[in-house]
Amino acid sequence: MAALLYESINSQEEKLDVGLDWHDEPEIIYFKNGHYKLMLNLKEYDITDECFCIVNSGVIRKLESLDEKGVEYSIRIKLEDLCFKNDSDPVNQALIYPLLKGSIRFNEFITVSDFGFLQVLRSFNDMVRRYREFGKKSNTNSVSVRKYELDSVADQLMIKADLLHVIALIYSFGMIEDKEVTDTEKQVKAIKDSIIFIREHYKEKLYIRNLSELTGLNEQYFIRFFGSVTGVSPLDYINRYRVEQAARLLKDTDTHVYEIAEECGFHNIGNFIKIFRSVTGETPHKFRKRFGKED
């Protein structure tokens, strides 16, 4: 599948709010305007001016818009799709392979004062125009976010060329650096390991001690640390993730509510309804009705 372009335009009804997560491929985020709070590997940034942010592979990120006027675009770079067939190709050896291995990385920010910003912006805007003119637009789970997908081979080839051009500009202007080992990597690993464990075992009974033992942290310290990074307690995160999975099943299947509750780790239907309503603002039955489904 070709790369997807995500477009976020805030409104009074909903503002961009991207929960804590990470991806195996780099992501280019263009903040056109607005006020955002961005976290990259536990470090927070206040975004108020037009800029690019490149989220490198595996970096934990969380993004929240703080006003109603923000416009933001993002696209992930599947580096494997940009490799040249010949392994010894100099572009592969000097750039693509080291990026894939993580021995080098993109600079995290490209600001308007950086030499080369306008060239990168021009090339990125060409991509956005191509997606908006020829792409298939569809909604996402967020009212403020739409995604664009290109179907034709010609358009997909153009996007690959555009992405290579953007990377070439970034490289030529010296916006790539050697990866440095930081003191926060152990903490980042602890967060990743605990979230992966929750996502893999959310159907089972989970205890905070399972997570603290997994990360090698004291239970009380782990609770405080997890909350400071994610903004919610470990228990709240578990419940929200379970509700997210339940909402997907309520929307996409005809499975009974009580079966969905059990499938998603809730072993008490009353508790499931209470937590589901606290997270979504409505009961599972009302949520399902919005999609034309009945129990």
- DSSP codes joined into one string, 146-213: EEEE--SHHHHHHHHHHHHHHHHHHHHTT-EEE----TTHHHHHHHHHHHHHHHHHTTS---HHHHHH
Q: Which superfamily is assigned to 185-289 in CATH?
A: Homeodomain-like (1.10.10.60)
Q: State which H helix or E strand residue 235 sits in.
A: helix 234-252
> Which pLDDT score is estimated for 293?
66
Topology agreement, domain 5-178 and domain 185-289: no
pLDDT computed for residue 186 by the predictor: 84
Can you give the pLDDT at residue 295? 64
- Amino acid making up residue 90: P
Q: Which residues contact 215 (CB under 8 A, 6 or more apart)?
A: 190, 193, 194, 222
- What is the predicted pLDDT for the residue at 197? 96
pLDDT at 75: 96
Superfamily per CATH, domain 5-178? Jelly Rolls (2.60.120.10)
User: What pLDDT sits at residue 204?
Assistant: 93
Can you give the pLDDT of all 295 residues of the chain as single tens digits? 578 999 998 887 788 888 899 999 999 999 999 999 999 999 999 999 999 999 999 999 999 999 888 999 999 999 999 888 888 889 999 999 999 998 999 999 999 999 999 999 999 999 999 999 999 998 887 777 899 999 999 999 999 999 999 999 999 999 998 877 676 788 899 999 999 999 999 999 999 999 999 998 899 999 999 999 988 999 999 999 999 999 999 988 999 999 999 999 998 999 999 999 999 999 999 998 887 766 6
Q: What is the DSSP string of 25-53?
A: S-EEEEEEES-EEEEETTEEEEE-S-EEE
Backbone torsions φ then ψ of 57, nearest 5 degrees: -55, 130
Domains of the chain, by residue range, sit at 5-178, 185-289
